[in-house]
């Protein structure tokens, strides 16, 4: 089968289109013929091995765990292991396979069945592949501090990005009052997906605006700890899913206390 491989860290030049052996599923795995995959910042972090702490998961000197990128996949089950019970040959499936070794940039991938779910019939493979990593990040970030309540004031920083657009729509499902932050170019986009208010960060100094929010969902990481505190209500909380740098990540994780938390999660079928 054909696959795009990478055996060393670096930019796009380390990627190679190769012919490799088609994988054989183990007893609790399925073999999926890939119909669509999506690229996320996760992929280029793994490809470059940056920030460097990621190499603790991927390999110190070179990528030893992930040699085919692609966490978001959608395709058709072609083969099932003897202990697979939830999926069958011919099922159209999708999922986030980061915890199963990546592999979306290939013709076939083997995945444990708990990494996949059957696709809704009314969406395409391309639409399904665009969902898992970004939408699951949004979902887990929004509920980091518990369920969202009706009328809750939520600020979504980076509302026009992949994660941010899902966050706006998910928050509106729970009838929250959503304020999206984006650039001038994307104001209409963020309004069109349901935001109650949209702030153009190029024209307004948001941290000094006096506005207060019950939850900040920061998908960018360009706000400081002082900014978070200025924008949070007395009982407000902040979920950080994007970072402007390692320093920001460390400060948010170590100094944020109970009000500011970094978002991490492991994909599961229920989500």
* Low-confidence residues of the chain: pLDDT under 50: none
Count of helices and strands (H, E) across the chain? 8, 13
Burial class (CB in 10 A: 0-12, 13-18, 19+), 4: middle
Whether residues 103 and 140 share a domain: the answer is no
Which residue, 130, 161, 179, sits at the end of a domain? 130
Strand partners, 106: 3
Query: Is the domain of 140 the same as that of 215?
Result: yes
DSSP state of 244: S
Where among 108, 130, 152 does a domain terminate?
130
The 10 Å Cβ neighbour count of residue 198 is 21
**Strand locations in 72-121, DSSP E?**
72-80, 92-96, 108-112, 117-118
Residue 96 lies in a domain: yes
The DSSP output letter for 120 is P
Model confidence, pTM: 0.92
Number of domains in the chain: 2
Identify whether 148 is part of a domain. Answer: yes
Q: Is position 270 within any domain?
A: no
The pLDDT tens digits of the residues spanning 1-40 come to: 999 999 999 999 999 999 999 999 999 999 999 999 999 9
pLDDT of residue 230: 92
For residue 249, the model assigns a pLDDT of 66
Quote the pLDDT of residue 34: 98
Domain contains 58:
yes
The CATH code of the domain that includes 196 is 3.40.50.720
105 and 6, same structural domain? yes
Q: Tell me the residue range of the domain where 167 lies.
A: 134-262
Asked if the structure places residue 271 within a domain, the reply is no
pLDDT of amino acid 222 = 86
């Amino acid at each position: 089968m054909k696959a795009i491989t990478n055996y060393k860290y670096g930019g796009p030049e380390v990627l190679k289109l190769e012919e490799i052996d088609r994988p054989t599923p183990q007893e609790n795995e399925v073999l999926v013929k890939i119909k669509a995959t999506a690229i996320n910042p996760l992929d280029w972090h793994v490809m470059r091995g940056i920030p460097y702490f990621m190499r603790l998961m991927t390999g110190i000197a070179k990528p030893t765990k992930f040699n085919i990128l692609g966490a978001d996949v959608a395709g058709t089950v072609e083969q099932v292991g003897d202990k697979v019970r939830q999926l069958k040959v011919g099922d159209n499936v999708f999922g986030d396979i980061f915890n199963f070794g990546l592999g979306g940039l290939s013709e076939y991938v083997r995945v444990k069945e708990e990494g996949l779910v059957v696709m809704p019939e009314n969406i395409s493979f391309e639409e399904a592949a665009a969902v898992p990593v970004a939408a699951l990040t949004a979902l887990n970030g929004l509920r980091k501090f518990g369920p969202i309540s009706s009328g809750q004031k939520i600020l979504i920083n980076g509302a026009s990005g992949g994660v941010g657009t899902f966050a706006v729509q998910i928050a509106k499902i729970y009838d929250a009052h959503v304020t999206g932050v984006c650039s001038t170019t994307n104001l209409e986009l963020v309004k069109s997906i349901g935001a109650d208010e949209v702030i153009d960060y190029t024209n307004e100094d948001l941290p000094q605006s006096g506005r207060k929010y019950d939850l900040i969902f920061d998908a960018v990481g360009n706000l400081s700890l002082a900014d978070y505190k200025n924008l949070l209500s007395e009982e407000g909380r902040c979920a950080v899913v994007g970072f402007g740098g390692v320093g920001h990540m460390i400060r948010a994780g170590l100094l944020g206390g109970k009000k500011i938390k970094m978002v991490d999660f492991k994909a599961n079928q229920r989500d």
